[in-house]
Amino acid sequence: MSTIKFTARKISDVTTASSQCAVLPMFSDTKLSATAAAMDKSAGGAIKASLDLGDFEARSGQRVFLPGTAKSRRLLLVGCGEKKKFDRAAAREFAQTVYNGLNDTSAKDALLLLDHLKVSDANEAWLLEMIARTLQSSAYRYTETVSKPKPALKLARVVVSTATRAPAQRALDQGSATGRGVNVARKLADLPGNVCTPGYLARQARKLGRDNSKLSVQILEEKKMRELGMHSLLSVTAGTEEPAKLIVMNYSGGKKSDQPYVLVGKGITFDSGGISLKPGAKMDEMKFDMGGAASVFGTMHAITEMALPLNVIAVVAAAENMPSGKATKPGDVVTSMAGKTIEVLNTDAEGRLVLCDALTYVERFKPAAVIDIATLTGACVVALGSHASGLYANRDELAEQLLSAGVESHDRAWRMPLWDEYSKQLQSNFADLANIGGPGGGSVTAACFLKEFAEKYDWAHLDIAGSAWDSSPKGATGRPVSLLTRYLMDRSGSQAR
C-alpha cells in the first residue's frame, strides 16, 4: 500500500528549495502573494503570463501545470476561488485537487507552498491535518486479488513550507496516521469473503499486536464463548464451517488507572442472510458487512501510530452468517450472555445478535464509554443515504462529542431517536425480546435492541450501513475511521484545530 511521508519545513527562500513539483495555491481575487511572486520571477514570469492569457483563473478546483524553475521541475497552480470564501469546504476541494494533480504526474516528491493559505473557519493545524489525511487516503489502491492493479501513486514525499514547524509536523503526522488507518479499513473490507474470514481478522489483530509494544491481543474461540454464555453470537455462526472469533485488542497508552474507551465492531465477514436468505442481486456486497470491524482495525492502527496517551480496547465479533442444516431457524429462541432470551424472527438481523453478547462482554473493562460500529440496517440507508452515519446514544454528552468529531473530520453522523415507544416493537410472546421490530423504523428498533445490553455504561451506536461502502464504483470508504480517531484524539487532548 502506497504511503506518503510528510515533513514540515521552514523555508526562507522558496526558489532555492528543490522539488519535482512545487504546488502553489492561488486566489482568484487577490494579487500574487510574496511566495507566488518569487516563484513567478524564478519561472520567468510564467505564472503571471498564464493569468494574463486567461488560461488559469484560479477558480476553486482549477489546476494547471507550468514549466518549472531551476529548483522545481514542475509548477502546479491550484485555484482556491475567492479568498474570503476559502472555508473548510473549499479547503477540502483544494486538497483533493492537489492530489488529482500530483496523481497525474510521475513526481516522487512535492513541495506545498502553503505559507499564505488561510482557512476562514479553521486554523493551520486543521488545514495541514486534513491535507495529509486526504493525500494519504487517496493514495489507496486495491491490489490483493488482481493481476494488474491500478498504478500506484508515484508520490512518496511531501514537504510543506510553514512558519510553525513543530505544531505543523504534529498536525501532518496526525493526518497521515488517520489516512493510513482509513486505508487499513478499506483494504480489509474490500477483501473477498473467502480471504477475509474471522480467522484472517484474528491473524491481522495478532500482527498488529506484534508491531506495537503497548497493544496486547486476545482471541476468544467458540469453546470459550460457549462457556461465557454467548449463545446469541454463536447462533449466527451455527450454519457455517468457519469458526467465530471474539477478537480483543487492548491498547495501554494511558495511565493504568484510566478507564478505557471501548470500540466494538460488527465483523460479519460474509452475510448470506442465513435461512432468511438474501436476494442474489448485490449479495456480493455482503463481504462489506464487516465494515464496522474494519473501521475498528483502522482506528487502532491510527491511534497506535500516534501513540495517543489514553487506554482503548477494541472488541471485534467476527463470524459468518450462512445457511445449512445446522443454521439457526426463524422462530428459534437463544439465550444471550446477559441472560436475556431472544426470539430470532429473521436470521438476516444477525449483526445485533453478535453485538449484544460483545456489549455484555465489555462490561468487565469498566469503560469510560463504549461505541459500537456496525453495518446494521438497510433502513439506515433509506433514512440517511450515504452522507451520514446513523448515531444513537444513551448519553447526550457522548452523542455531542461524536457529532463534533464527525463535523471536525468531515466524517459526519446524524443523531437518531432511542425512544421507549420504539422498544415496544421488540416485544415477543416467546422470549424477552425479538430480534426485529417490524417494518417501521428498522434502524431505530435495531439500536433499541442493542440498548437493552448497554445499560451499565455510557454507550453509542453508529449504524454505517450507508457510509461504509459505495456500490458505484464498488469499494469500501474506510468510514468512520476519521470520526473515531478524531473522537479519541479529543479525549486524549491531541487536538488539531
d(CA 368, CA 370): 7
- 261: number of Cβ within 10 Å: 26
**DSSP string of 35-46?**
HHHHHHHHTTSH
352 is catalytic: yes
Count of CB atoms situated within 10 Å of the CB of 155: 22
Strands of the 22-26 sheet, one edge to the other: 5-9, 157-161, 109-113, 22-26, 74-79, 63-67
Where helices occur in 191-290 by DSSP H, the ranges are 198-211, 222-228, 231-236
The residue type at 440: G
Residue tagged active-site, from 266, 352, 451, 491: 352
| CA distances, 89 to each of 96, 129, 443 (Å) | 11, 14, 29
Q: Using an 8 Å Cβ cutoff, are 137 and 478 in contact? A: yes
Give me the catalytic one of 141, 157, 278, 340.
278
What angle in degrees, to the nearest 10, is found between the helix axes of 396-409 and 481-492? 110
Q: Is 278 a catalytic residue?
A: yes
- At 32, list the grid cell: 500574487
User: H or E stretch including 482?
Assistant: helix 481-492
Grid coordinates of 240: 457455517
User: Among 119, 116, 120, which Cα is nearest to 129's?
Assistant: 119
**How many residues are present in the chain?**
497
DSSP-derived letter for residue 72 is B
CA distance 298 to 275: 32
Report, as residue numbers or ranges, the catalytic residues.
Answer: 278, 352
